[in-house]
Amino acid sequence: MAIMLLSRWPRPDAGWVALLLLPLLGACETLKARSMAQDGVDKYRNGDIKGAAELFEKAARLEPNMPVIQLNRGYTHLSLFQLSPKSKEGMEAATVAIDAFKTYLKLNITPEQRQKARDYLLQTFADAHRYEEAVEFFKPQVDKDPPDLEALTILANIARSVGKISEARMWMEKRIRANPKDPDAYVALATLDWDQLCNDSQCRIPPERRSPMVLPPEQRLEMANHGIELCKKAAELAPHAPTPLIYWNLLLRERQYAYVPSIPQPTNPRDTKAQQQYQEELERVNKLKAEDLAAASELLKKALEMQKAATGADAGKPPSPPHEPAKEPPQEQPRQAPAAPGSPAAAPEKPEKN
């Protein structure tokens, strides 16, 4: 009887069976993705970054909307890229990392998580020299009126990191036009002048190991003066900030290399008139150099006093590291300046747990 009664029920439709099984299948896929992700964390901890990256990639295919999986997919592929940044495998890993971080930013995450993922995305853009992708990513922010100042700064820093100095200048100039009362914008543009001059003079290495400078004196003078004027403007807007004075000091040290004799050294030692003229020209040049170096020392001294006063005002709090070391640099060797604001963060030590 029971068999007969059951046989009276209509035959179940295959579509209904599939719909009933979907939640179960989804749950199974989620569990499988979580298990793969956990194995990925274990592999990462054991130093198998490639194996971890493969597992997170598989887990993301099963559960593309699980934030922790996408984040760790980005982490591991960024780490994989950093192991071999110039190889084909490394560049492919960078592409996956960018995709993972972009996907993660679209998911339901906290503001803190969003900022961290954005930092890693920017780092990948910069390290992998994906400047054009960064421009595309920030296009909505920089095309609006007024443009997003942070986006302009980030694009300038990425352009600078990949050697696109003219593009970096363009973004910084847009930032100044968007907010002409921001002293940091003037300093950021001045750092581009200083960096180019420093690279030419090789100011980061000992004098005995330096090669001859390439920039013509006229171009060096023009670039140094441009940066100095930017620092002066920043100092006017922020009279108690040490950073404009630090870069002003560094640019003066670079400018003094532009002072060269305007007449050639005479080859005839018996031509006393020519010898005298050349000696006077040398004295003029050396006087200009000495004035710039003395002014640079005064600016650095004032900047260090500002830093000391600011640190003393925050008694009881851990002091922030100064932009420049506490000791005054040698006259001919300006030390390296701080990185411009907005530089990408370092890669994570390990992926997050599920």
pLDDT digits (tens, 9 = 90+) for 103-119: 999 999 999 999 999 88
Report in angstroms the alpha-carbon separations of 88 from 7, 95, 99, 137: 62, 11, 17, 23
Respond yes or no on whether the N-terminal peptide bond of residue 146 is cis (omega within 30° of 0): yes
User: What does the pLDDT look like over 232-279, one tens digit per residue?
Assistant: 999 999 999 999 999 999 999 999 999 999 999 999 988 999 999 999
Asked if residue 214 belongs to a domain, the reply is yes
Over residues 3-8, mean pLDDT = 35
Asked if residue 160 belongs to a domain, the reply is no
Q: How many structural domains compose the chain?
A: 2
Q: Which two tokens stand for residue 33?
A: 């993705």
Asked if residue 141 belongs to a domain, the reply is no
Which residue do the tokens 């009126």 mark?
145
Q: Which amino acid is at 193?
A: D
Asked if residue 7 belongs to a domain, the reply is no
pLDDT at 2: 37
Instruction: Read off the pLDDT band of 162 (50, 70, 90).
Output: confident
338 and 231 inside one domain: yes
Instruction: Read off the pLDDT band of 324 (50, 70, 90).
Output: very low
Domain that holds residue 56: 23-128
Asked if residue 235 belongs to a domain, the reply is yes
Single residue among 108, 128, 148 that ends a domain in this structure: 128
pLDDT at 61: 93
Asked if residue 280 belongs to a domain, the reply is no
120 and 188 inside one domain: no
Number of Cβ within 10 Å of residue 298's Cβ equals 13
pLDDT at 21: 39
Could you give the 3-state DSSP secondary structure of residue 168? helix
Asked if residue 1 belongs to a domain, the reply is no
Do 315 and 300 form a contact (C-beta atoms < 8 A)?
Answer: no
Burial class (CB in 10 A: 0-12, 13-18, 19+), 255: buried
Q: Which amino acid is at 126?
A: A
108 and 224 inside one domain: no
pLDDT at 103: 95
pLDDT at 265: 92
